[in-house]
């Protein structure tokens, strides 16, 4: 039995952003239609700053597949010039159990996360949206530049980072404007992508213009948030998965504790919008927020696409296993 191994470079060679955006639409629709399944992710916290996450998923059909992403989150990696997410995605044939492929999880996670924000933006941002603020200049900041340009090709990009020289560097690469403060980045922005590792809110409600759409990406544990309570309370809130948001999102849980939001404050999952079960934005001046947690079916669909492309193009390494 051989297993296809795809390195970071291999994944990036075959998983382009426009195709991954379409794959994420398919993943979210499959989840909504119960054609794909996943539990909450399991997180091991051994008392260090590093954590291990396990994210299994299943897709049925003629060629059913199990996937498992195992990933170590090491926050200090950003200062080392490394992706904070390190690990692998495993794909198994669901009938025989045979391992089909092993993929670099950093590349899969980076691309699919930004691709889901692109899906949310296409569904929830106003049609005339043009000014995009990206907060954060790390892995997700860079990938969100590409994702936003994929769905808003003529957008004006503003980049803010807690490390000003990194904001300038990304702005130069992206032909964007580097700004000195979050308030300056958000002033008149139509779309905002928060891609930081901040533990405290960096977005204040008073800085957001009427009709803004926010992709809240950086916080994925209950003790961290990027949005202040008033932003979450005032927003029409959309998510990738309700269960994940209620269990894991600091942006939602902290705001809920402070002002008494209940589970019904979450209006819909993106999959519900994609199948027409919820209308999404209903007013031009409506503040919409997509709270991204990153879910296992996204990894499964992104990995399947990458493996199919790699086998078509002869990319990767086949290993006896």
Q: What is the DSSP letter of 265?
A: G
For residues 282-311, give the mean pLDDT: 98
Write down the pLDDT at residue 76. Answer: 84
pLDDT at 1 over 80: no
Annotate 121-137 with b (16+ C-beta within 10 A) or e (fewer): bebbbbeebebbbbbbb
Q: pLDDT, tens digit, for every residue of 166-211?
A: 999 999 999 999 999 999 999 999 999 999 989 999 999 999 999 9
Write down the pLDDT at residue 64. Answer: 97
Structural domains in the chain plus CATH codes: 2-108+297-320 (3.30.1780.10), 116-294 (3.40.50.720)
Q: pLDDT, tens digit, for every residue of 209-233?
A: 999 999 999 988 899 999 999 999 9
| Sign, CA torsion 259/261/267/268 | positive
Q: How confident is the model at residue 161 (pLDDT cuts 50, 70, 90)?
A: very high
Q: How confident is the model at residue 75 (pLDDT cuts 50, 70, 90)?
A: confident
Write down the pLDDT at residue 78. Answer: 76
Q: pLDDT, tens digit, for every residue of 38-72?
A: 999 999 989 888 889 999 999 999 999 999 999 99
Output the pTM of the full model: 0.96
CB within 8 Å of 238: residues ≥ 6 apart: 120, 124, 266, 267, 268, 269, 270, 273, 280, 288, 289, 290, 291
């Amino acid at each position: 039995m051989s297993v296809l191994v795809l390195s970071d470079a291999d994944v990036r060679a075959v998983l382009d952003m426009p195709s991954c955006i379409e794959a994420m639409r398919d993943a979210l629709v499959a989840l909504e239609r119960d054609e794909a399944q996943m539990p909450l992710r399991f997180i091991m916290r051994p008392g260090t700053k590093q954590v291990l996450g396990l994210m299994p998923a299943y897709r049925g059909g003629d060629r059913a597949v199990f996937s498992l992403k195992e990933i170590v989150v090491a926050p200090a990696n950003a200062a080392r010039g490394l992706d904070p997410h390190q690990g692998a995605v495993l794909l198994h044939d669901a009938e025989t159990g045979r391992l089909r492929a092993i993929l670099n999880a950093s590349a899969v996670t980076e691309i699919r996360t930004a691709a889901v924000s692109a899906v949310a933006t296409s569904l929830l941002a106003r049609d005339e949206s043009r000014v995009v603020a990206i907060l954060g200049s790390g892995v997700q900041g860079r990938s969100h530049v590409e994702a936003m340009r994929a769905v808003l090709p003529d957008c004006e990009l503003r980049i803010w980072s807690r490390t000003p020289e990194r904001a300038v560097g990304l702005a130069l690469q992206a032909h964007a404007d580097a700004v000195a403060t979050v308030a300056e980045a958000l002033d008149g922005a139509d779309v905002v992508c928060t891609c930081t590792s901040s533990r405290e809110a960096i977005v204040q409600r008073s800085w957001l213009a009427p009709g803004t759409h926010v992709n809240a990406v950086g916080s994925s544990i209950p003790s961290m948030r990027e949005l202040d309570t008033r932003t979450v309370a005032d927003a029409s809130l959309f998510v990738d998965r309700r269960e994940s948001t209620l269990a894991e999102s600091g942006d939602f849980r902290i705001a809920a504790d402070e002002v008494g939001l209940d589970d019904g404050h979450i209006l819909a999952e993106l999959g519900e919008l994609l199948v027409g079960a919820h209308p999404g934005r209903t007013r031009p001046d409506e503040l919409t927020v997509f709270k991204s947690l990153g879910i296992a079916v996204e990894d499964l669909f992104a990995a399947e696409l990458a493996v199919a492309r790699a086998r078509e193009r002869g990319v990767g390494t086949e290993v006896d296993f």
